[in-house]
Amino acid sequence: MNELFKKLNSELAAAMKSKDAFRLDVIRMMKSKVLNVNARGDLPDAEVIKILQKYAKSLKDAIEETKKVNRPDAVTKLEGELKIVEEYLPKMLSEAEVKDIIAKVIAEVGAASPKETGKVIKAVMGKGLNVEGSMVSKIVSQMLNK
């Protein structure tokens, strides 16, 4: 069993003992998402992180949709859920850090035109960094369209 899944299990027990129903529900959801991929939960941490990142992204999308229909009570609940999920994810890179990495990758692959955007994005995302793909795509497009 990996470290992140062990942490989920221990946090689940702690939430039960403290009778924190909301936190307990969120941790159970995260654990079930991992167990849906592998019934024993014996995935490497990198895979668990990918699963939790996907869950976090779905929560962010749900927050945006809920804001559009003007449901502040539901938005608050979703934001609380997202905050708990983000506790288990590595720190997201800042835009400045991402720009530095992209500049290095552009130099490495020798990309010079907007036609090579896909190649650069693939190389950046292949580094296993904790960064949103949409941000990488936007910055790569800006840098190659200069």
In this structure, which topology does domain 95-144 adopt according to CATH?
A: Arc Repressor Mutant, subunit A (1.10.10)
**Cα 89 versus chain centre, distance:** 7
Any idea what DSSP says for residue 113? S
% pLDDT > 90, the chain? 47
Kind and range of the H or E run holding 130? none
pTM for this prediction: 0.72
Question: Which CATH number is associated with domain 3-86?
Answer: 1.10.1510.10
Going from N- to C-terminal start, the domains of the chain cover: 3-86, 95-144
- Going by C-alpha positions, the residue among 50, 146, 42, 64 that lies closest to residue 103 is 146
pLDDT tens by residue, 32-80: 999 999 888 888 888 888 899 899 999 999 999 999 999 999 999 999 9
Q: Does this chain's domain 3-86 share its CATH topology with 95-144?
A: no
Q: How confident is the model at residue 13 (pLDDT cuts 50, 70, 90)?
A: very high
User: 127, exposed or middle or buried, with CB in 10 Å at 0-12, 13-18, 19+?
Assistant: exposed
